[in-house]
Amino acid sequence: MARPLHAYIDPAAWRHNLAAVRRAAPRARVWSVVKANAYGHGVLRAYEALGDSTDGYALLELDAAVRLREAGFRGPIALLEGLFEASEVAEVLAHRLTVVVHHAEQLRMLDAVPAGSGVDVLVKVNTGMNRLGLTPADFAAAARRLGAHPGVGSLTVMTHFARADDDHGIAGQYEQFRNLADIARFPHCVANSAAILRYPESHCDWVRPGIMLYGVSPFANTVGEEVGLAPVMTLVSRLIAVRTVRAGETVGYGGVYTADRELRVGIVACGYADGYPRHAPTGTPIRVAGCMTRTVGRVSMDMLCVDLTPVPDAGVGTPVVLWGRGNPVERVAEAAGTIGYELLCAVAPRVPLITGTAARAEWAADYDQDKSR
């Protein structure tokens, strides 16, 4: 028997979430962000699910961009951190990739692009994130240089909002962006997931949905379903042991949890080597046999423990949802003091990812069994 831990990847949820982007920003074209191996879901799985229904894909990794092109996508593919060295120009040209330019050295790298190549460029401007981007003062000269380059095709200007997901909002950054010299000459790309959902004035010509494509809310204290999204990944396992702990006994490494009464504890085949956060404390939400309960004790490398009080009939083989459908990853992340992005991206390579109709049918059967208990 294979270890029961695996992650279901639901292509229909991906398509649902892209449709939600289209409804929110109906006039904008869409860069679907699939960096970090599509946030841990698999970049080629993303392509299998979304195909040509998105206008473009955006990511960081040159090799992943090449795989997308070789898989058959003919539309634009953007490298969000641009070129790391001039030797990459040949691959960019061979696979017709779009590059971000965010510092002067990348402008010099593009000198290697021959006339007539038609390389499309996204010029990134720093408006307050203070991470990547040309200064507003340097933007005009960079735009002129790129506009005069015989090997450059279209130019689009982008920035990245630091606080679109909180009450501070985008006003200051967006005003600085709109005040750039000659900005009206170029298409704009500024809205991330939070801005897509909250600030329609920022949708402009292109939007860049990231976390919302995976069914996760970009806002604190909100889960994806509350903003019309569906989780793409559901991480599931089963109980591999059940034991009774007496009052006063401890559970797990370090004895950080002490039972205050007799307690049935289930052992789940999932631990920090699988990507579950070791720092998740007692009380982190987990779903067992269709009922919400809590973790107890410290997460181990390959296992974690759960309180079976709400599910007295649970036994070895009972299904468990660590996060996803029925147990939002946002709530697990909140309990662990992190964000859903990190949990999705941290799923370990040893965890099988299962996608397609058969996987969805198997998961639906598990879920229906859970609800009937």
d(CA 83, CA 105): 9
- In the block, tokens 């649902």 appear at 16
DSSP string, 333-366: HHHTTS-HHHHHHT--TTSPEEESHHHHHHHHHH
Distance (Å, rounded) from C-alpha 177 to C-alpha 183? Answer: 8
To the nearest 10°, report the CA torsion of 51, 57, 62, 68: 10
Pinpoint the alpha helices (H) of 6-156. Answer: 11-24, 35-39, 43-50, 62-71, 89-94, 104-109, 136-148
- Cβ within 8 Å of residue 16, ≥6 positions away: 215, 229, 230
- Write down the catalytic residue from 35, 199, 257, 272: 35
Q: Per the structure block, which two tokens stand in for 269?
A: 């085949």
State yes or no: is 341 an active-site residue: no
| Cβ–Cβ < 8 Å for 345, 293 | no
Among the listed residues 57, 199, 214, 253, the single catalytic one is 253
Closest CA to 173 of 117, 212, 223, 125: 125
Contact present, 328 and 231 (Cβ < 8 Å): yes
Count of CA atoms in the C-beta half-sphere (13 A) of 329: 31
Contacts of 260 (CB under 8 A, 6+ apart): 247
Alpha-carbon span 257 to 275, nearest angstrom: 22
Q: Catalytic annotation on 35?
A: yes
Q: Which amino acid is at 90?
A: A
Across 109-211, the runs of DSSP E, i.e. the strands, are 119-124, 152-158, 188-191, 206-207
Alpha-carbon distance of 29 to 33, in angstroms, equals 13
Query: Among all chains, which residue has been given the structure tokens 């296992």?
Result: 303
Alpha-carbon gap, residue 344 to 218, rounded angstroms:
13
Quick count: other Cβ atoms within 10 Å of Cβ 309?
Answer: 14
Which residues are marked as active site? 35, 253
